[in-house]
Amino acid sequence: MRIQSITILLISLTILAGCEESIEMQASIGQQAPPFTLQLTDGQTMKLDGQSGNAKAITFMSSWCPCSNESIPLLKRMHTQFKDQDIDFLMVGIQDPENKFRQFVLDYDLPFPAGYDEGNKIARSYGINSPPTTVLVDKSGTLRRIYYGNIKDMESDVFTWVEEIL
C-alpha cells in the first residue's frame, strides 16, 4: 500500500511538473547574440534585440555561489570605469529562487540593473549552466566573449575585453 502511494505520488508530481519548452542554445562566439527581454528588479525592462546600440556586459549569477559573490567588487569597478561610455551593464539571476536573488541584489547595492531569469531561459539560450558567467556583446549585437568562472583576480583581462567591444 505504501509503495503504491509513493508510486502514485511520483507519477502525480511528474504530471504536475509537466514538460517545459525546449530553449534552443543559440550562442556562438562571433555570431549575433541571442535576443532576450528581461524584467528588471526595479520594474523596468531591458531588451537585447540584435539591433545596434550600446555594447553589453552581462553577468549570470546566483546568490548561493561563492564565486558570484566574489566577482561583484570587480563588476562594480568595471561599472565605475566604463559607465560614461557606450556600454550597458546587466546582472541576470539564474538557478536561484527569485526572492533570494532580489535580496542578493539589494545586499550588494548594485549600481547597475539586474533581473531574474525565470526558468533559466536566457541562460539556456546562451548555453550557461553554471554561475558566474560573464558575456560581452559588442555594439553591433555580436557575441564577442563568454567567460566562465570567477573574475575577481582578472581585472586587467576583463578591462581589456570591455575596451575591445567599445
Least Å distance between CB 108 and another protein?
A: 12
- Apex 166 CA angle, 56 and 135, nearest 5: 35
Q: Could you report how far apart the first and last alpha carbons of the chain are, in Å?
A: 66
Least Å distance between CB 52 and another protein?
A: 24
Q: Are 132 and 71 in contact (CB under 8 A)?
A: yes
Least Å distance between CB 115 and another protein?
A: 16
Q: For residues 64 and 159, which CB has a smaller minimum distance to another protein in the complex? A: 64
Q: Which residues bind another protein (CB under 8 A)?
A: 2-3, 6-7, 10, 13-14, 16-17, 19-20, 22-25, 27-29, 62-67, 69, 95-97, 100, 119-120, 124, 127, 129-133, 146-150
Q: Report the candidate in 137, 88, 82, 139 with the shortest Cα–Cα distance to residue 115.
A: 88
